[in-house]
Structure 1
Amino acid sequence: MAYLFLAVALALVLLTVFWQRSLGRPICPPGPRKHWLYGNLFDMPYSVNWQRLLDWNEQFGDMVYLTAFGHSVIVLNTPKAIKDLLVKRARNYSNRPHTVMAYELFDMKKSMVLADYDDKYRELRKLTQQAFGPEASKKYEGVQLDIIRRFLQGLQKDPQGFRTHTRLLVSRFILAVTYGLDAETADSEFIAGAELTLQVLTKATLPGAYLVDLLPSLRYLPTWFPFASFHDVGARGRKLVYDHRSRPFEYVRQQMADGVASPSFVSDLLSDSYMSKFQSVDAAQWAEYIKWAAGDMFGAGVETSFSTTLIFFLAMALHPGAQAKAQAEIDLVTGGHKLVTLSDRPNMPYFKALLQEVARWQVVVPTGVFRRSDNDDVYNGYHIPANTIVLPSIWALSQSVEDPGRFNPERFLDDSNSPNPYEYIYGFGKRICPGRYLADNFIFLVTANILAFFNVSQPSGPLDDGLKLPSNVSFTPTMVSCPEPFACNIRPRTSEHAEEIAAMIA
């Protein structure tokens, strides 16, 4: 009996201690129910589930908290939460997650996209913003229009291959601006390598894509140990990344030495006028900075621009009324038979609204680019642990308008106060995309000139294998979300337009 009494007393003491400690335990934001063993492992956003993101927004509000094996993730669902944390508290939320595969094994800590927000990053970001600011970006209009002429001719000759033409268009554009490569040089030497590197990095930078990211202690396993194949993946990835950054960079340096380099991001930053601004950095270190920043531009720009252009084709096929209004405005501004240029843009308010609706209708990066909390924080009474991965739900922001499923450019022309997508699609605060003005100019020139010379419509005949009707298209559940292969008719608007396209490049 005495033993029983002692056991009960001990149990009561332990329960009291546990209860008292639980009173002082910080409360994390709400989220899906956690399993007692693996937490929210199967709720983690390894891919994009649009309906789940919306359900979480309705069920949990501003923030959704997930945890598994000591890792925590917070999804931010509202403009206020995103602004309060990523902008107002940027000092604590401007770094990137340190995934083992990408950050360590691929050695991507040198990457501008994945680097922490330190002095080195701020230096390079400042230069990148100078090189691609609103005015500086305009100097690339000539090379953009040259590449667009080739693209329009490709569409005329092979309209069913519009997806391939779009991919080539974007790759040529990024390589021309970054390294000054002309189309032939880019096609033959660099695009294939850049595309392969991008495929490998896309998977490696997704937190949790590899087991070693969830269980970081695995990285200490020897290479011969079972389940340690990630070492080989990391070694191959590191070499691939290094080669992709080094080869075009050295090409530019040789072109500069020979006095024949075309204007580009790399040649600008390697010039004496730029290097003199950073006398505290030796030449070798400066070259390394530029090499990594230039390599990042392909990965950051190609997938997003490619997907945005395909979404534009899809929207035009599905919404002929919006297409016709945009074409009427373009004809009024240009006379109907010349390339649209940046100088035409201020006179095209409907087309501006059309592009805003394209950006909102199907956002290209639904979960934004991951951030990381440096230190413990408290927001709205909830505890946010240090080293939490923070995802701004761009998809939730895009749906915070009246009738979000309806494609309606007019929502940005009236007084409805619909949030401007360009205020969230390029990121937030100190990590907002430094190349956004260049990308914005490019998308405008490409899409406006598509409608200036072509009609886009739904297919009327049988579809090729693997293609879908525009009305049945799904989007890839990846960080950069892209429409799956679909069919559409792309034809010159008139015989005169066909002749003008054919004469663009003799």
Structure 2
Amino acid sequence: MELATELLEKQTAATSGRPRGVMANEILGWGTSPAFRKHDERHKKMRRLMASALHPAAARSYGPQHLETTLGFLRALAANPESFMDATNTAVGSFIMRLAYGYISKSTKDPLLSMVHESFRYLGIATSTYFLVNDFPILRYLPRWFPGTHFQRFGKIGHDMRLRYANETFNMVFDQVTASIVNSFFLMASLYPEIAQKAQAEIDSVVGRERILGLQDRSSLPYTDAMVQEVMRMCPPVPLATEDIEFHGYRIPEGTTINPNIWAILRDPKHFSSPHIFNPTRFLGSKPEPDPRKYIFGFGRRVCPGSHVANNGSWILCAGILSVFDIRPSPQLEAKVASLGGRESKQLFELTEPHGLFGDQLPFSCKITFRDAASTSILENSA
């Protein structure tokens, strides 16, 4: 944790670049995106533009939109709880599309959102799979019919999807990170119902059972906030040297790709007691453990510019789930977790998508039911 912070925060002039990434950046066309572009003058201007709409004060002003999105999300869950992942992706994607372009999506089958999610699926494969063309860039000029150039056909589909939508700036920040956090929340809440019940009791005592909670309630719900933090730590949703660096006796050559292992950082027993146990109270009291939100959104000049909005969005969706629904694991999920050694096993990472950009959960099932009659009234009577 200390070394990653020192290297990527204090030496940002040398560690703010990006690897060439022929497959993702050139063939699929993601090199023009702020997240993948090299740190040049254009990249600085792009980040300044995003910061004007995503700084902390601006993020707080989006409270009404977050509340409306949360209500729509909870109603979609009530109507079709089995499709909770689709409901999550639609809610998060719709919020960003509305924030950026005024576009309002009403369906989990919205063609634009489906295209965006599919393009990110291709990007995830491109960045997590070995492609020979990344080591031998000249191969990109081979025709698609040439033997062994399946990467060209894959790249053509991914590139076409990349060109068909213009939401690159905002979707990278929220749609993937926030959805990953919320879907991970479903998993951890189902595996640790006793912790979810403590958060529900806190929500009931502070907010009551007559209205849906909002961002203004967050400061009064420390345990609920800690539970969301613990989800981020357990299931965290990663920079490139532009000059030689001498670091703690090691020389890091110019052009070296630096990937901080966030998963390992947030499980370091030096900083987190019993790191494989889901325990929100680690963030409470007079000596809280490090806040995972300082690390999951990146470091230095490459820190996610939309972290404040993503943080608010994931919190209100997760807290909204707790206020209205009980979540329990399905028999299939219980069997899978048991086969991995139980809910405190180090092998739970096997529930994560191996070709994802943001630690996405593999599809799983859980039982989502209304907590009580007041839950239905909250959704029916909220504007």
Do they superpose with TM above 0.5? yes
SS at match of 2:13: helix
Question: Aligned residue for 1:476?
Answer: 353
Alignment of structure 1 residues 239-254 onto 2, 5 Å: 239-245=160-166
Give the conservation status (yes or no) of the 8 Å contact 1:106–1:241: yes
- The correspondence of residues 59-458 of structure 1 with structure 2, limited to 5 A, is 79-184=1-106, 188-206=110-128, 209-245=130-166, 294-364=167-237, 369=238, 371-400=239-268, 401-458=272-329
Distance 2:108 2:325 in 1: 27
CA distance in 1, matches of 2:188, 2:110: 33
1:178 deviation in Å?
Answer: 2.2
Task: Please name the residue that 1:487 is paired with.
Answer: 365
The superposition leaves residues 139-188 of structure 1 with CA deviations (integer Å, 9 ceiling, x where unpaired) of 32222222221221122222222222222222222222222111238954
> Scaled by the length of structure 2, what TM-score is found?
0.89
Assess, with a 3 A threshold, how the Cα gap between structure 1 residues 463 and 318 changes in structure 2: closer, same or farther: closer
- 1:251-286 per-residue CA deviation (whole Å, 9 max, x = no partner) reads xxxxxxxxxxxxxxxxxxxxxxxxxxxxxxxxxxxx
Partners of 2:141 and 2:369 in 1: how far apart? 58
Whether the 8 Å contact between 1:97 and 1:389 is mirrored in structure 2 is: yes
Residues 132 and 434, structure 1, Cα contact 8 Å, conserved in 2: yes
SS of the aligned residue for 1:455 comes to: strand
Within 2, Cα distance between the matches of 1:176 and 1:402?
Answer: 41
Say whether the 8 Å CA contact 1:148–1:169 is kept in structure 2: yes
Residue aligned with 2:34, SS? coil
Q: How far is the alpha carbon of 1:100 from its aligned partner?
A: 1.2
Answer yes or no: is the 8 Å Cα contact 1:458–1:469 preserved in 2: no
Q: Name segments (4+ residues, structure 1) moved above 6 Å.
A: none
- Quote the Cα distance in structure 2 between the aligned partners of 1:100 and 1:117: 17
Match in the other structure for 1:265: none
Number of aligned residue pairs: 370
User: Aligned equivalents of 1:397 and 1:456: distance in 2?
Assistant: 29
- The Cα offsets for residues 41-81 of structure 1, whole Å up to 9 and x where unpaired, read as xxxxxxxxxxxxxxxxxxxxxxxxxxxxxxxxxxxxxx222
- AA in 2 matched with 1:116: K
Distance 1:224 1:454 in 2: 53
Shift of 1:234: 3.5
Q: In 1, distance between residues paired with 2:138 and 2:216?
A: 56
| Runs of 5+ unmatched residues, structure 1 | 1-78, 246-293
Deviation at 1:220, TM superposition (A): 4.1
Q: Percent identity?
A: 31
Give the Å deviation of 1:323. Answer: 1.4
Inter-partner Cα distance in structure 1 for 2:298 and 2:106: 33
**Contact 1:316–1:456 (Cα < 8 Å) also in 2:** yes
Deviations 1:192-217 (A, max 9, x none): 221221122222234x6321012223
Does the CA-based 8 Å contact 2:35-2:172 persist in structure 1? no
SS in structure 2 at match of 1:383:
strand
CA–CA distance in 1 between the matches of 2:307 and 2:335? 32
Structure 2 counterpart SS, 1:497: helix
Tell me how far apart the structure 1 counterparts of residues 107 and 278 of structure 2 sit (CA, whole Å): 40
Alpha-carbon distance in structure 2 between the residues aligned to 1:162 and 1:237: 26
Mapped to 2, the partners of 1:476 and 1:106 lie a distance apart of: 21
- Alignment deviations for residues 64-99 of structure 1 (CA, whole Å, 9 cap, x no partner): xxxxxxxxxxxxxxx222122211111111011111
Q: Whose RCO is larger (CA < 8 A, sep 6+)?
A: 2
Shift of residue 329, structure 1, vs aligned partner = 1.5
Q: CA 1:453–1:222 in structure 2 vs 1: closer, same or farther (change >3 Å)?
A: closer
TM-score by length of 1: 0.68
Matched position secondary structure for 2:14:
helix
CA distance in 2, matches of 1:454, 1:362: 21
Give the structure 2 partner of residue 27 of structure 1. none
